[in-house]
Structure 1
Amino acid sequence: MPRFLIAQSETPDERAARRAHTGQSSGESYADTLGQMMPGATIEICQPADDGSPVFTAGELAAFDAVFLTGSPLHVYDDTPEVRRQLAFMRAVFAAGTPSFGSCAGLQVAVVAAGGTVRKMPERMEAGISRRIVATAEGRDHPLLAGRAPTWDAPAVHGDEVETLPPGATRLAGNAVTHVQAAEIRHDKGVFWGVQYHPELSLGEIAIALRRQVDGLVEAGLAETPAEVEERAAVMAALHDAPERRSLRWRLGVDGELADTDARRREIANFLAALPSIDRRGAR
């Protein structure tokens, strides 16, 4: 059975805060998702951004079948010890040639580690649902997006975005809010597939994230009042409990691409299916 490593870049305080609200850190949430999708896999979690955390060598990382990078509040354009440690970890992953996948901040870490840039989104953000994502010409034929509809919605909560992709990267999808919603990065010996949205998260977790960020959502103009955020979060949580309810899908303006668990996780499933064919020398 495969052996997976999940790298979470939340600080200890951020992990504790997420557990208090959600019951799990981002890495633990990712581990649950992977465990459901591939029962029997060996799944380990590490915290490469933490001071004193074990430092993985490229040789040690090569022993894993895949590395997954979670979302987090990390801002990779900040020159902090936490960011530097996280980027060093990702560069070791690329050097190892171990296939990797990341969502949200995970995509951003891979971009910067390979030489691209990330920025704070100018006067906008995506929260709750990333709308009308469309594959590029390259993305339509890429296995990461196999089975995706011509346009789709996905769970998302982010205020940072990819500004420029690094050399060796291919933009696979975008929307009107964020130019890079999915990408492949080839760097050193490694291949990384990533998305700006959150295929690993349940709708219930997204509802909790909206409630945690209520003040920021009102300040960003996505809602007029905290009550509006709560209303949206309540519908999202209800759809989590009853994904087949057409009335809830209608209220959120979504279809099965977001409401159905398997469809929501499509990119992760495609990555897992492609692992045997991803060459560890940087070629598919």
Structure 2
Amino acid sequence: MPHFLVAESETADEREARRRHAGKSSGETYAATLAQLRPDAEITIVAPADDDADQFGADDLRAFDAVFVTGSPLHVYDDTPEVRRQLRFMRSVFASGTPSFGSCAGLQLAVAAAGGIVRKMPERIEAGVARRITPTEAGRNHPLLAGRPDSWDAPAIHGDEVESLPENATLLASNAVTTIQAAEIRHDGGVFWGVQYHPELAPGEIAVALRRQASDLIEAGLADTTEDVEMRAAQLDALHDDPDRRSIHWSLGIDAQFAQESNRRIELSNFLNHLVEPNAGPRSDQDPAPADLCPA
């Protein structure tokens, strides 16, 4: 039985706010998605940003087969106690050698913990659909993106982005809005695969996020009115309820890479298939990173 650790990147207040609007915290969404992908998995959720959170050292983290780091409104460039606790946790994940995966703020946290730079996006935010994500030359042959076509769309909502990757990192995919859409990071004996988009989210959850951030979308120039935001959110709700509805595909300008749940989750499935399961089981501090599965 695999044992996964899901690390919430949200603060306690943010978790409660998301539960009120979406029904689950980001960590609970991740856990539900992983439970569907691996029904036999034991899943533990922790919140490293909390001031009363249990402290996980590298030895503790070696008991898990994989660590997943969620998205959140966290800004990893802010020098706050919550951010410092999250960074300390992520450095322990790397030191443990336990394979790790993160989306959105999860990618940004891993980048910052390994010495890269995260910034507020200089021009606009990316919201709803991240369009025309394209693999780099390294990404075309990387197992994280196995099964992806030459270009695809994915659920996304973020106002921060990775400005520069740390040493020993590989850029795997980009689009016109955000240069670093997918990456592999090797640091302190650990391997992290991450994406700026959200393979764990369903369209209905993206719709909730758009409604919550309507004023930000209008300020960024992505919408003129709250009615515009509501129209896009309603389309995503309709897609959630009927993934095969061709009129919604046309309205949103998407194809099966976004509409079908299994396609949205390709990166998560690839991480489990290629980086976690072949190396499952307790690790010691002598175990090397699984270099043969994730070429730099």
Q: Same fold (TM over 0.5)?
A: yes
Closer, same or farther in 2 for the Cα pair 1:278/1:186, shift >3 Å? Answer: farther
Q: Tell me the alpha carbon deviations over residues 108-159 of structure 1, each in whole angstroms, 9 at most, x when there is no partner.
A: 0000000100000002110000000000000000000000011000000000
Residue 40 of structure 1 and its aligned partner are, at CA, apart by 1.3
Q: In the TM superposition, what are the counterparts of 1:81-230 in structure 2 within 5 Å?
A: 81-230=81-230
Question: Deviations along 1:238-283, whole A, 9 cap, x unmatched?
Answer: 0010000111000000000000000000000000001234695222
Give runs of aligned pairs for residues 239-258 of structure 1, distance below 5 A.
239-258=239-258
Number of aligned residue pairs: 284
Q: CA RMSD in A?
A: 0.9
Amino acid at match of 1:56: F
Contact 1:153 1:258 in 2 (8 A): yes
The answer for the alignment partner of 2:3 in structure 1 is: 3
Paired with 2:171 and 2:137, the residues of 1 have a C-alpha distance of 9
TM-score between both structures, scaled by the size of structure 1: 0.99
1:276 aligned onto 2:283: no
Distance 1:137 1:278, change over 3 A: farther
One-letter code aligned to 1:93: V
Do the aligned partners of 1:218 and 1:224 also contact (CA within 8 Å) in 2? Answer: yes
- Counterpart amino acid of 1:130? A
In structure 2, what is the Cα distance between the partners aligned to 1:190 and 1:229?
40
Identity %: 67
Q: Could you tell me which residue of structure 1 aligns to residue 42 of structure 2?
A: 42
CA distance in 1, matches of 2:174, 2:9: 24
SS at match of 2:29: helix
Q: How far is 1:52 from its partner?
A: 1.3
Q: Please give the TM-score of this superposition, normalised by the length of structure 2.
A: 0.95
Q: Please list every run of 5 or more consecutive structure 1 residues that lacks an aligned counterpart in the other structure.
A: none
Match for 1:187: what amino acid?
H
5+ long unaligned stretches in structure 2: 281-286
Q: What amino acid is the match of 2:125?
A: M
The structural deviation recorded for 1:9 is 1.6
Counterparts of 2:127 and 2:264 in 1: how far apart (Å)? 16
CA contact (8 A) 1:111 1:166 kept: yes
User: Which residue type is aligned with residue 69 of structure 2?
Assistant: L
1:54 aligns with 2:54: yes
C-alpha contact (below 8 Å) 1:4/1:41 kept by paired residues: yes
